[in-house]
Each structure stands twice: as structure tokens, then as C-alpha cells.
Amino acid sequence: DIVMTQSPLSLSVTPGEPASISCKSSQSLLHSNGHIRLDWYLQKPGQSPQLLIYMGSNRASGVPDRFSGSASGTDFTLKISRVEAEDVGVYYCMQGLQTPFTFGPGTKVDIK
Amino acid sequence: EVQLLESGGGLVQPGGSLRLSCAASGFTFPNYVIRWVRLAPGKGLEWVSAIGGGSDTKYADSVKGRFTISRDNSKNTVYLQMNSLRSEDTAIYYCARVFYETSGNYHGADHWGQGTLVTVSS
């Protein structure tokens, strides 16, 4: 199985400041079509998960442009350019290359 | 409007069974893969199972042989039959849709239901 790790596991951020979450996969997530099978999800308190980024760097519909994703080999990064209060929750990366699909352990983000 | 609505959760004894349903509306249902993902108390998200439009199925090792996923495209509904339930299956179960292009590109799980709670306890 592909193992996903994330760091940090918790993050306290001042509104208006940037934030960055790292995710690493135990093997390449490069699909045969040349695209990365890596998603980022956010689960806000009391809500269902929501898609932020798919294929490593594509922002999902309706996601603010302060969120961005990047990939380099087996390293992936989610960046929030300016954190807002509504961004609190648990952020997960997930590999969608091969089953069983696997999530990272999650990064809990709160506001200072 | 795209909607996914889970139902069928509840309290069940260890070794018991439940059938979850995921009713979809607002999109061309047969064109989408449907996934089940769960969130156990104090844990992170865990992928459970998936079914394609052609009814090809995949399972996590933790549920293989105990859970069965199926779909009825005439009813726009996916089912998750859960047998031999264990305490570790206690979780909120979410269904989500995923679109795969013929090129292999995909768009992630872009819509999720509100979840249904399954509690396995004596």
C-alpha cells in the first residue's frame, strides 16, 4: 500500500499570515497519462470533507485562489497565501493512484 | 444541484449487519465512480470502497470479505452492505462522487454527502 505522511500534524496560524502543509508519498503518484493522482481535502468542524486541490495542483471549483498545490517527485505541498478564520479544520492529502486509496494522517489547523 | 444523501446508519451489535444507501441526484449518475470514506472517532479519514459506472468494485483490506458495494443506476443509488461488523467499524460513513475522464484525468471527490453514523457496540 502507498503510505502518505503529513507535516506538521498541527498548525496554529495568525489570520492574514501564510501557511504551508507538507505531504509525502512512499512511491510515485504519477499516472501513466502524466498527471499526479494527489488530492487535498479539508474537513471543517462538523462538516463533510470538501475537495480543495486535485491532480496535485488543480484548484477545485469554488475554492478561493489563496489555496494552491504543488508537487515535486513524491513531495507535495498545500499553501494558503493568507489564512482566514474560515480555514480552520483538518487538512488531508490523499493518493488516488492505486487502491487502497490512502489518506495522510491529517493536519489540524487552528487560528491564533 | 448535485446532492448525495446517505442513510441506513444506526446502532448494531458486533457481528451484525447494516446496509447503507447513497442516493444521488443532480448529475448523470452512471458516469461517476462513487466512493465510501469513513471517519472513526479520534481518527483520520479512511477510504473504504469504490464502485465504477460499470460496477467494477474495490475495497480496503480492512473490510474486504465483509463489505459489499453495489449500485442501481435506475435508482441513482449506491449501497454498502456491511456484514460481520466490528467495533472498529464505528464511524461516520460518507459517500462521494468522482469523475474520471477517458484520458485518465480525474477531478477528485468533488461532492460529498452529509454522512451517516454507524455505531457497533453491545
Share of chain B above pLDDT 70, in %: 100
Yes or no, beta carbons of B109 and A49 under 8 Å apart: yes
- Is A63 within 8 Å of chain B by CB? no
Would you give the distance in Å from CA B82 to the centre of its chain? 10
Distance CA A2, CA A96 (A): 10
Distance CA A5, CA B46 (A): 14
pLDDT < 70 positions in chain A: none
What average pLDDT does the structure give for chain A? 97
Instruction: Give the residue from B49, B40, B42 showing the smallest Cα distance to B86.
Output: B40
- B33-62 pLDDT, tens digit each: 999 999 999 999 999 999 998 889 999 999
Nearest to B108 among A1, A39, A100 (CB): A39
CB count in 10 Å sphere of residue A91: 24
Residues of B in Cβ contact (< 8 Å) with A32: 104
User: What is the pLDDT, as a whole number, of residue B53?
Assistant: 84
- Is A68 within 8 Å of chain B by CB? no
Cα separations in angstroms, B77 against A19, B12, B49, B108: 39, 23, 15, 20
Yes or no, beta carbons of A48 and B113 under 8 Å apart: yes
Distance CA B92, CA B29 (A): 23
- B102-120 pLDDT, tens digit each: 888 889 999 999 999 999 9
- A52-84 pLDDT, tens digit each: 999 999 999 999 999 999 999 899 999 999 999
Sorting pLDDT into bands at 50, 70 and 90, what band is B93? very high
Would you give the distance in Å from CA B110 to the centre of its chain? 14
Nearest to B47 among A31, A53, A102 (CB): A102
Yes or no, beta carbons of A33 and B105 under 8 Å apart: yes
